């Protein structure tokens, strides 16, 4: 369908797939990472606990509805399951019931959100929408 300038997209907030007509735009498929959703740059404080009774804190550097990158000095290894509490400025914390550390590079760790309660999913999506709008404006 790209010959007719119709391309697939995915909503960053609700995860729905859709197609749009983009006249005179050619897209090249690039496979740089496994993420379905783009992450939005941010600086949001986060605290977390993991199974061994460890606790840590850090800063969310980018976020999507499916995961985030956290800058931290805490000794959490890849594969660890975390309980996250993301604290956007001026709002109550957003709880992620289960987050899996997928990758660790120095002080950065990539976390996939495995389980988030429905109420917190809606708040997370709203926060991401505000971040997307702020980054475009």
Asked if the model's pLDDT at residue 3 lies above 60, the reply is no
Q: How confident is the model at residue 1 (pLDDT cuts 50, 70, 90)?
A: very low
Rounded CA-CA distance 127/33 in Å is: 24
Query: CB atoms < 10 A from the CB of 100, how many?
Result: 16
pLDDT tens digits, 26-50: 566 655 445 556 788 999 999 999 8
pLDDT tens digits, 58-102: 999 999 888 999 999 998 888 899 999 999 998 999 999 999 999
Taken in order of first residue, the domains within the chain and their CATH numbers are: 40-136 (2.40.10.220)
């Amino acid at each position: 369908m790209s010959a007719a300038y119709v391309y697939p997209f995915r909503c960053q907030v609700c995860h729905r797939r859709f197609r749009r007509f983009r006249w005179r735009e050619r897209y090249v498929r690039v496979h740089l990472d496994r993420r379905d959703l783009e992450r939005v740059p941010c600086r949001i404080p986060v605290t977390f606990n993991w199974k061994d009774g460890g606790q840590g804190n850090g800063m969310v550097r980018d976020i999507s509805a499916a995961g985030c990158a956290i800058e931290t000095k805490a000794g959490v290894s890849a594969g660890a399951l975390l309980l996250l509490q993301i604290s956007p400025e001026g709002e109550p914390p957003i709880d992620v019931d289960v987050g899996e550390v997928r990758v660790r590079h120095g002080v950065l760790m990539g976390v996939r959100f495995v389980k988030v309660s429905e109420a917190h999913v809606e708040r997370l999506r709203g926060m991401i929408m505000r971040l997307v709008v702020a980054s475009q404006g």
